[in-house]
């Protein structure tokens, strides 16, 4: 069952936006009780991850680690993509554009400290998050 897309506004070049609450609301509105939820971002410079949502420093550390691994200006060589956002494309490839989550009793099965995040790597922008539930 396809659920309505989420529209997420980002406010920085790189940020993690928690979308767990919006996903819970979409599942409730659709009357979903059990299944597998696919969370998919149809963008080449944004991704999806499940990460700790209790300590905001985790988000900062996550982004710092990605920036250190894939800097906007590499120490050797130069990116060739004319738009100037090659680092965002690589970060998206590393993080991935989807996550699959078990749904039980109408809610995503997440650990105590887990949340679902849209990962912005080329913002600020308005992003789409597609949701599909597979029967369980």
Q: In the block, which residue shows the tokens 């936006």? A: 17
Residue 119 burial (CB count, 10 A):
29
CA distance 68 to 97: 20
Say how many Å lie between the first and final Cα of the chain, rounded. Answer: 12
86-95 and 56-69 helices, crossing angle to 10°: 120
pLDDT digits (tens, 9 = 90+) for 11-39: 999 999 999 999 999 999 999 999 999 99
Domains of the chain with CATH codes = 2-134 (2.60.120.460)
Q: What is the pLDDT of residue 17?
A: 98
Residue 133 contacts by C-beta under 8 Å, 6 or more apart in sequence?
1, 3, 27, 30, 32, 35, 36, 37, 38, 103
pLDDT at 136: 78
pLDDT of residue 133: 98
Residues (pLDDT < 70) of the chain are none
> What per-residue confidence (pLDDT) applies to 63?
98
């Amino acid at each position: 069952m396809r659920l309505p897309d989420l529209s997420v506004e980002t406010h920085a070049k790189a940020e993690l936006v928690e979308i767990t609450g919006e996903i819970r609301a979409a599942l409730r509105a659709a009357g979903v009780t059990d299944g597998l939820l696919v969370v998919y971002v149809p963008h080449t410079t944004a991704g999806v991850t499940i990460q700790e949502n209790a300590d905001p420093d985790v988000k900062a550390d996550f982004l710092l680690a990605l920036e250190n691994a894939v800097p906007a200006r590499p120490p050797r060589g130069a990116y060739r993509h004319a738009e100037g956002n090659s680092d965002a494309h690589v970060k998206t490839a590393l993080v991935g554009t989807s996550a699959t989550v078990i749904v039980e009793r109408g809610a995503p099965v997440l650990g105590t400290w887990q949340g679902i995040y849209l990962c912005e790597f080329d913002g600020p922008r308005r992003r789409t998050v597609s949701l599909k539930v597979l029967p369980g």
